[in-house]
Structure 1
């Protein structure tokens, strides 16, 4: 009985302490204030294991090597992903240094297709990774996964060539050059449709 009282008292003290910490506002949520190393390690391990768990039942399509699918994915990646995940020949972007945690450089790292599909579709909480499944269908997401399998090892010239051949990204219509000024980073696909990295 005494042991139970001690346990309950301890839990109460911890709960009150946590509540006081939250209410005080002293926690710094700024992206320029890194977590403690232990906190970061625990969050990273939790995230990685969760992605593995939630993606393990996903069935990878047999056509990930299809050239048309890869070509479509190249255009999608160039339009939506380079500011955070870079591309062959890119050293950095205006956005990337301010992100925490820092997104992986996908031009260098080959990712598991099932995990890539799940992350692209569902996004990641408390990061800059959006849930693209809210605005893109599964086929389009698989095209990005197909391209990601090919990108590591590409030269800058090869990357630019495949992006130039990619079909227009109709989902990016509202973000075309009618509403956003052209920049040196803009790229034009066949058919004259222009994307601007964002």
Structure 2
């Protein structure tokens, strides 16, 4: 599930949203109110239940072959997502929806290599929410490894110390170190 040209996506487990209103998220690191969305490249970050902790890594311009092979694995593609065993059932059964939103209403957020898009005015979806479907199948179709670990922290520490690009979402929900 990726946006089409001129669109960004908002992923949610709530299929009843008719209007997105800027708000300050409970976990926000900034005081401004935003509507959040993602583009094509960052959509896979949200192919999970909302509260699922996940550690993600992918190759970038500065990634060394050694780090790629050590963390992603030889012949393993360019991207890997890691979750904990305790989340497998939720990943299998959750119903995630994608809302298509007009990209023109949003600005990139997160520095030169932005990780999201934000709007400061209310935004109407371009249509009804679309069921995202089988999250495992989405990963397979995109060629993204989905690694299942007893605990995320050793993987996360290795990724952060590498030359790979990375993102960690809802890591506060991961098992303790």
Fold equivalence (TM over 0.5) = no
If you compute each CA radius of gyration, which structure gives the higher value, 1 or 2? 1
TM-score by length of 1: 0.22
| Structure showing the higher strand proportion among its residues | 2
| Structure showing the higher helix proportion among its residues | 1
TM-score by length of 2: 0.24
| Larger relative contact order, structure 1 or 2 (CA cutoff 8 Å, min sep 6) | 2
